[in-house]
Amino acid sequence: MAASGIKPGVPVILRELEPSSPFFKHGQSLRVTGRLQSYQAETGIAEMSDGNVILKIDTRHLSDLIFSAGSLYQFIGELVIGFNTQDVLLQARVGRMVDGLDLNLYQQSLHLSRKLESYISNTSRSKKNLG
Rounded Cα–Cα distance for residues 98 and 84 (Å): 31
pLDDT band at 4 (very low <50, low <70, confident <90, very high): low
Q: Report the pLDDT value the prediction gives residue 68, as an integer from 0 to 100.
A: 96
Top CATH class, 10-100: mainly beta
C-beta neighbour count of 82 within 10 angstroms: 10
Neighbours of 131 (CB within 10 A): 5
pLDDT of residue 51 exceeding 80: yes
Q: What are the backbone angles phi and psi of residue 66, rounded to the nearest 5°?
A: -95, 130
Residue 71: is its pLDDT beyond 90? yes
Q: What's residue 19's pLDDT?
A: 87
